[in-house]
């Protein structure tokens, strides 16, 4: 992480001292060295620092964490996205996505009941949107997961 911070500081100094082509070269070298994960993670973290109520910064950072296997970090950021959304005026535009994705993370980590709760909340929001054609496939996938969870919990009780 120290290398990452010093590299960012170095690139910021280059803006002032060096020409733009050289800066672009160093930025591309940085991205090649550390990968897009760090770039996207830092970009969204920067947005969160400057706009702590930005729903999509949390959501996008969670997606990046999810892609690279940081499931607990993804759950944290999806939860923050849900928390910020609940504190802002109600909007249903993609409101189910954080619940759906967080449910997937819970499912992967074995927290089946938490996943079930999030899946059901996502379905509820998808139905409120009244755009069943767009979300029909997603709803079917979620309902399939719910059936798997409920079947697994009844098998454990027997």
- Tens of pLDDT, residues 4-61: 455 555 555 544 554 566 656 666 666 666 667 777 888 888 889 899 988 889 999 9
Rounded CA separation 99/79 (Å): 8
Residue ranges and CATH numbers for the domains of the chain are 30-89 (1.25.40), 90-158 (1.20.58)
Q: What is the pLDDT of residue 128?
A: 81
Q: What is the pLDDT of residue 85?
A: 83
Can you spell out the DSSP letters for 40-53? Answer: HHHHHHHHHHH-TT
Q: What is the pLDDT of residue 156?
A: 43
Q: Is the pLDDT of residue 157 over 80?
A: no
Q: Is the pLDDT of residue 136 over 60?
A: yes
pTM metric for this prediction: 0.69
DSSP conformation class of 94? T
Rounded CA separation 145/134 (Å): 19
């Amino acid at each position: 992480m120290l290398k990452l911070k010093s590299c960012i500081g170095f690139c910021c100094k280059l803006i002032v001292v060096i020409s733009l082509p050289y800066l672009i070269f160093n930025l591309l070298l940085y991205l090649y060295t550390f990968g897009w994960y760090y770039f996207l993670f830092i970009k969204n973290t920067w947005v969160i620092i400057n706009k702590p109520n930005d729903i999509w910064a949390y959501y996008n950072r969670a997606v990046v964490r999810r892609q690279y296997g940081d499931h607990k970090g993804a759950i944290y950021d999806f939860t923050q996205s849900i928390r910020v959304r609940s504190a802002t005026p109600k909007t249903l535009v993609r409101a189910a996505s954080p619940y759906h994705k967080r449910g997937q993370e819970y499912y992967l980590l074995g927290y089946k009941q938490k996943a079930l709760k999030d899946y059901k909340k996502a379905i509820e929001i998808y139905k409120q949107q009244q755009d069943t054609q767009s979300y029909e496939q997603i709803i079917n996938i979620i309902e399939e997961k719910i059936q798997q969870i409920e079947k697994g919990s009844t098998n454990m009780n027997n």
